[in-house]
Amino acid sequence: MSKNRGKLILIEGLDRTGKSTQCELLRQQFGESTTLLKFPDRSTAIGQQINQYLTDPSYKLPDQAVHLLFSANRWERNDYIRNKLLMGDNVIMDRYVYSGVAYSAAKGIEGMDLEWCYSCDRGLVRPDLTLFLVNHESNDTREGFGEERYENNSFQEKVREQFYKLFEKLDSQNDLVIVDVTGCTIDQVSKKIWTIVQDTKQIPSTTFKLFE
């Protein structure tokens, strides 16, 4: 009988929905042999350029180039992710392709439509399960919110629209779950997530789904 590979779980959502907290809790619940990756991965050379773009409003770069940097930042981790999964590790990701497409398409730049934004991510390994956290209550009082590019309410609304458009485009595989976190405590959200994650079926090794 072939050995199962690890599970690839993605937590997505707009800013301030508690993604990073839930990723960390999920990592603890999975226990040993779990890898947590956050995108953008600011530790690489490409990631550092992205970080500069996000934190320095005077840093100028064409929107197309920024988009390709975010995508390249995922590609440079693709083999690492596949190898971890093959070794039997579970891999949790905090943002990935969906954020990449939704934030760029939300800019409304001519020629940078959803399809254009998605095209450079085709071929990346696709998560076995994607959880999209939604909070219907606006809560922009979080300390530090507004310090980086994209952190304002009107832009976040546009990003939300693009997320839903992308879900319609990519929903054929039944691997996307919308988790309503409105009014929930951290613990309640964590329990919801754990229940859904446990229902994800085991995947035989060497089988990967890709973004097509």
Binding-site ranges for ligand TMP (CB under 6 A): 15, 39-40, 54, 70, 95, 99-100, 103, 150
The amino acid at 25:
L
List of residues 6+ apart from 17 with CB closer than 8 A: 133, 134, 135, 181
Residue 126 C-beta: closest distance to ligand TMP, Å = 15
Residue 82 C-beta: closest distance to ligand TMP, Å = 19
- Which residues on adjacent β-strands are paired with residue 37? 93
Q: Which residue, 72 or 203, has its beta carbon nearer to ligand TMP?
A: 72
Q: Which residue, 39 or 163, has its beta carbon nearer to ligand TMP?
A: 39
Whether 196 contacts 131, CB under 8 Å: yes
Q: Name the helix (H) or strand (E) containing 10.
A: strand 8-13
Alpha-carbon dihedral angle through residues 74, 75, 77, 79, given to the nearest 10 degrees: 150
Q: Which residue, 5 or 163, has its beta carbon nearer to ligand TMP?
A: 163
Residue 150 C-beta: closest distance to ligand TMP, Å = 4
Residue 177 C-beta: closest distance to ligand TMP, Å = 19
- Which residues on adjacent β-strands are paired with residue 176? 130
Q: Which residue, 103 or 118, has its beta carbon nearer to ligand TMP?
A: 103
